[in-house]
A and B are shown apart, each in its own frame.
Chain A
């Protein structure tokens, strides 16, 4: 992290003599004890991407196993550990921190016109708590792995041998990182907006981060107590979830999913924020339905807390509560659909540029719609009874989560890349990467819908020969997806160190992060900007911003 950029970043008028946040302080220690939100964002970025690679490779490993019906590569036990690693790492170490902590940390104060978050030292502490949790989780892997699934259902997780307690404690610690980040963001949004920046002028990315942070604050403590209780059950034999002592294992599922369902909204709401930004800027048109999108973010966060039982339709909860949760789950579709409609409405009549961020945005719209619609047969209890624990569910959540969180993140990375690093990536390579990812993703997961509705169960390392073709397509798709992601990593790394210097505002955005230097100086702004326009009020002529599209 002490590498000097070969091409000094181009800065806007008035910033020429100042080093960017990357160059402002030198040396490894300046990164390790930084309280600059931008640097902390980068620390998170590199950590989460590192774990994304590991979890991704574990997925490729078990997809290779699934190429043939017979269990030829791994034993059942190893297979179980691989998918647990994939799930646990992706959920806790990658997707939950990815957009909120990595991107959010970088962008939030800039978009608000603030010089930092409300509690910068807490921000750094959040990062170190994340590292501590990651170490515990890795210890569990190194000590032999755990095979409970990332969902840690009792009584298996409370009684099986192995380093499960390390994993539970790792996730527990990671929860606090999430809580403190959420706390920091809520206070920053409430208290540190620039003058003139009312709630109704905030970029939709901020609304999304706001809804995400509230969810993180309210949901994650329940995960913490759940994991603590399962740990106590392992260590002390407490018995709250143990039927032989009068307990109830389904109670653990209630506790767990009370967090984990809002957790998926923590994963997707920031993605929605990203898409709002990208679609407006790259269609060069004011967002359609600003108020609807803002309020739908908050309502998704709220309604998301009422629906957790739809993960438990076949677990043994009562039929009445199944019906209640099924009914409540349908309500989530409404604000989500409002968003999709609004984004498409934004593109209509806009000046759409099909650059890499826009390609990712279009991928998202297509893939997330599929994911969202396939959630409906899963929300309906009668059909879910057949689809639960099949590949249909796996395909559904990958369409929403992987396409949702990951593809929107890639779009965001490309969109804000010049702002974060001051260099530009190669557009041609970026387009190739976007296509590879899109095609690879669909080839991996679309066959899984078909397998799942034909009855292929999830988390199985061997299967009946009739599913072989679908599995093979899926495996080939996963290799293509991996290739696309590796390709993206390669050209982005090249851009990081050897990319040409970026223009000040390549896309012509009008939100506050584009009103300061590229990359930003350490304290973001010389003086707190005064916000006079809305976040998507593009001027008629866009040459005045020295940009134009790439």
Chain B
């Protein structure tokens, strides 16, 4: 892998833009990558069977996925031997995705930073737990009683919530009172 990286950097440093579109990948590379990808798939399923605690299971799974993706992109998609601008384009796509994720998550994670009540969304299941205890419709999460009128009538969500969801055409009801926004 490192050899490939070094070679691709050397190549693009000297030949300005004359890509290696006639570069024919040796079959050996393809076999090795196929083997590695299958192996990593087995690894990732195996690791999930171990049942690591939460942050680590995602981190390991994503790390394996990134390595697999790297192999596909550099060898199968030829990026290691291709013009540098193609790599730039691909990375730009990834960076723009990260911009989208980062700034949106800044919002989502800080909803209740200043004002606890503003975190309605964040506390949905906590709110549901409170509602189940008290049975008081005013404690229900916003819109819940409209979506599940039967459940609201019974004062708890239980199984009635599921039958009510497809049966009650709940989403027609809240529409009419919205402002002309």
- Give residues in A with beta carbon < 8 Å to B: 76, 79-80, 147-149, 153, 155-156, 158-161, 190, 218, 222, 237, 242-246, 248, 250-251, 254, 258, 305-306, 308-309, 316-321, 324-325, 459-460
B171 touches A159 (CB 8 A): yes
Main SS class of interface, B: helix
B180 within 8 A of A: yes
Of the A-B pairs whose beta carbons lie under 8 Å apart in the complex, a sample of 16, sorted by A's number, is: A148-B181, A149-B181, A153-B181, A155-B143, A159-B174, A159-B175, A218-B96, A244-B141, A244-B147, A246-B124, A258-B104, A318-B107, A318-B111, A318-B112, A320-B107, A321-B103
A432 to B174, CA, bound (A): 52
Closest to B114 in A: A319
The one of B99, B121, B178 in contact with A243, judged by C-beta atoms closer than 8 angstroms, is: B121
Looking across the interface, which residue of chain B has its beta carbon closest to that of A328? B103
CB-CB nearest in chain B for A305: B99
**Could you say which of A160, A243, A309, A459 has the most chain B C-beta atoms within 10 Å of its C-beta?**
A243
Contact of B110 among A80, A320, A325 (CB under 8 A): A320
Query: Do B118 and A316 touch across chains, with their CB atoms under 8 A apart?
Result: yes
Interface residues of B in 144-165 (CB under 8 A from A): 144, 146-148
B4 partner residues in chain A, CB cutoff 8 A: none
Query: Could you tell me the distance between the alpha carbons of A79 and B180 in the complex, rounded to whole angstroms?
Result: 10
Within 8 Å CB of A148, what residues of B?
A: 181
Q: Chain B: which residue is nearest A316 at the CB level? A: B118
The yes or no answer to B108 lying at the interface (CB within 8 A) is: yes
Q: How far is the CB of B83 from chain A (nearest CB, A)?
A: 10
Please judge, given known A-B contacts A156-B175, A243-B142, whether A309 and B103 are in contact too, CB under 8 Å: yes
Q: Which residues of A sit under 8 angstroms from B112, Cβ to Cβ?
A: 318
Q: How far is the CB of B110 from chain A (nearest CB, A)?
A: 4
User: Which residues of chain B are near A306, meaning CB under 8 Å?
Assistant: 99, 103
Query: Are the C-beta atoms of B171 and A250 separated by less than 8 Å?
Result: no
Are B180 and A80 within 8 A (Cβ)?
Answer: yes
Contacts of B124 in A (CB 8 A): 243, 246
What is the distance, in angstroms, from A84's C-beta to the closest C-beta of chain B? 9
* Closest beta carbon of chain A to B92's beta carbon, Å: 7
Not counting A243-B141, A318-B110, A460-B180, a sample of 5 additional A-B residue pairs whose C-beta atoms are within 8 angstroms of each other reads A155-B178, A243-B124, A244-B144, A320-B113, A324-B106
For residue B31, CB closer than 8 A to chain A, the reply is no
Binary CB contact string for chain B from 88 to 121 against chain A (1 if under 8 A, 0 otherwise): 0000110010011001101110111111001011
Decide yes or no: A319 and B144 within 8 Å by CB, A246-B124, A254-B107, A306-B99 being known contacts: no
User: Which residues of A lie under 8 Å from residue B125 when comparing CB positions?
Assistant: 246
Of A156, A246, A306, A318, the most chain B CB neighbours within 10 A belong to A318
The answer to whether B45 has its CB under 8 Å from any CB of chain A is: no
Residues in A neighbouring B170, C-beta threshold 8 A = 244
CB of B85 within 8 A of chain A? yes
* Contact (A317, B142) CB under 8 Å given A147-B180, A305-B99: no
Are B175 and A244 neighbours in the complex by a CB distance under 8 Å?
A: no
B172 at the interface (CB under 8 A from A): yes
In the complex, the answer to whether B121 meets A248 with C-beta atoms within 8 Å is yes
In the assembled complex, which residues on chain B have CB atoms less than 8 Å from the CB atom of A147? 180
Q: How far is the CB of B163 from chain A (nearest CB, A)?
A: 15
Query: Is the Cβ of B171 less than 8 Å from the Cβ of A242?
Result: yes
Q: Tell me whether A218 and B92 are in contact in the complex, defined as CB-CB below 8 angstroms, given that A243-B142, A309-B107, A321-B106 are known contacts.
A: yes
Q: Do B181 and A156 touch (CB < 8 A)?
A: yes
Residues of A within 8 A of B174 (CB): 155, 159
Shortest Cβ-Cβ A-B pairs, 4 listed: A244-B143, A321-B107, A244-B147, A318-B110
**In the complex, what's the smallest C-beta–C-beta distance from A89 to chain B, in angstroms?**
18
Q: Which of B93, B104, B125, B148 has the most CB of A within 10 A?
A: B104
Q: Are B120 and A243 in contact (CB under 8 A)?
A: yes
Whether B107 and A250, one on each chain, are in contact in the complex, defined by CB atoms closer than 8 angstroms, is yes
B103 touches A324 (CB 8 A): yes
Q: Distance in Å from the Cβ of B143 to the closest Cβ of chain A?
A: 3
Q: Nearest chain B CB to A247's CB is how many angstroms away?
A: 8
Chain A residue contacts of B100, Cβ below 8 A = 222, 258
Q: Report the minimum CB–CB distance from A322 to chain B (whole Å).
A: 8
Q: Are A325 and B103 closer than 8 Å at their CB atoms?
A: yes
What is the CB-to-nearest-CB distance from B36 to chain A, in angstroms, rounded to a whole number? 30
- Minimum CB–CB distance from B174 to chain A (whole Å) comes to 6
